[in-house]
Amino acid sequence: MEKENETKDINNEKKDNQIDNNENELNMGFFKKIKYSIVNIEKYPNMSAQGFGKAISYLAKIVIMLTIVFCLGIVYQIHLIINEGIEYLQNSFPEFSYKEGTLSVDSETPIIISAEDSVAGETIIDTITEDQTVINQYTNQITNAGGGIIILKDRIIVKNASIAGTISYSYVDVLQATGINEFNKQDIINFARSGKIVTLYISVFLTIFMYVFIMYFLSTLSDALLLSFFGFFTAWLARIKMRYVAIFNMAVYALTLSIILNMLYIGINIFVPFEMEYFQVMYAAVAAIYLVAAIFILKSEFIKKQMELMKITEAQEIIKKQMEEKERAREEEKKKEKEKNEKKKDKKENEEKNKNDSEEPQGSGA
């Protein structure tokens, strides 16, 4: 009885520990999920079990981190451009003015500043053209140069080595939060040399943030969808029955390291502009490796549990046979005991009968 009670206590303690672990995993924070997504692939099924909503929330949070890094990089580049360009603007740049969303530069021909002479990359200023074909040529030109800026009459187009396409910002969208409706060359010089420029940095950050967050979130979500289709096909080949939503959730967590590498890529590009030719291939490959590893770890755990279940079943069968053999032995023993008792009873009856016969008078039959 004492051994049985000890066994029950141990089992109950194990169950309590398991419940505590499950509750901790359900309540795990954002940064713990980042850690598990990178160094604890075996935790993917547990995180996936938290549901689709938790996975989307995690994706949004990590994209916010990526967006903040990107926007800080853009603001820093704008700061460098302003500091570098203020002297050039005062001494060499033609007069210009801005009013009601339209920028006008006193130059009949486009102004082109080479990448060697600008921290922002190749810069093209053309506030006259409205021809989309010409604008597309400018875009191709700064793309081939590895990055740059196109300044048009109504908007600015930015190409950065860390993003696949270009980003366009309307002057109205960027400046409306500051309350600036018009300015000229001297106003810009005075503004750049005052502390009020901080409000421009904040305005630019907030404006870019919303646009870049939506762009990155949709892009990362599409990456997760494509990765989940790949994972679903992998699970089918591995003969693991899994719901698609569970694989999608795992795909979201598998993208973690790729997104962090993208952050580092953007951060380095702020100070040392360069372009990694096969970065997108590496981005997809790292995420795919994580997801495939998680699926096969899940299969390994499934096989392990099956083996344990088989061992338990076999042990149960052995115990059942032993119990049946003991029951048969008990029945045989009872049967033999019964036969023995019956023999004793018959022997006693015979002895009593013989005794009675020997006690009868000899002349009783006369």
Alpha carbon distance 253, 286 (integer Å): 12
pTM: 0.60
Q: How confident is the model at residue 221 (pLDDT cuts 50, 70, 90)?
A: very high
- Reply yes or no on whether the pLDDT at 361 is more than 60: no
Q: How confident is the model at residue 227 (pLDDT cuts 50, 70, 90)?
A: very high
Return the pLDDT at 313: 63
Cα–Cα distances in angstroms (integers) from residue 59 to residues 30, 216, 252, in the given order: 10, 10, 7
Cα–Cα distances in angstroms (integers) from residue 300 to residues 2, 59, 252, 303, in the given order: 37, 27, 21, 5
Return the pLDDT at 354: 67
Return the pLDDT at 61: 93
- What would the two tokens of residue 247 be? 């694989």
Residue 264 · residue 70 · CB < 8 Å: no
- Reply yes or no on whether the pLDDT at 22 is more than 60: no
Q: How confident is the model at residue 177 (pLDDT cuts 50, 70, 90)?
A: low
pLDDT, average across residues 225-249: 88
For residues 331 and 253, the model is more confident at 253
Return the pLDDT at 230: 92
Residue 153 · residue 127 · CB < 8 Å: yes
pLDDT, average across residues 305-331: 69
> How do the domains of the chain map onto residue ranges?
22-344
Q: How confident is the model at residue 180 (pLDDT cuts 50, 70, 90)?
A: confident
* Range in 228-232, 240-244, 306-310 with the lowest mean pLDDT: 306-310
- Reply yes or no on whether the pLDDT at 57 is more than 80: yes
pLDDT, average across residues 264-286: 81
Return the pLDDT at 59: 93
Cα–Cα distances in angstroms (integers) from residue 363 to residues 203, 355, 366, in the given order: 142, 18, 6
- Reply yes or no on whether the pLDDT at 19 is more than 60: no
Q: How would DSSP label each residue in 222-275?
A: HHHHHHHHHHHHHHHHTT----HHHHHHHHHHHTHHHHHHHHHHHHHHHHS---
3-state helix, strand, coil in the chain (%, to 5): 70, 10, 20
Strand residue runs (E) in 114-267: 122-125, 148-151, 155-159, 166-170, 182-184
- Reply yes or no on whether the pLDDT at 167 is more than 60: yes
- What would the two tokens of residue 124 be? 């093209």
Return the pLDDT at 362: 52
Report the relative pairing of strands 102-105 and 96-99 from DSSP bridges.
Answer: antiparallel
Return the pLDDT at 10: 41
Q: Which residues pair with 168 in a beta bridge?
A: 157
Q: How confident is the model at residue 283 (pLDDT cuts 50, 70, 90)?
A: confident
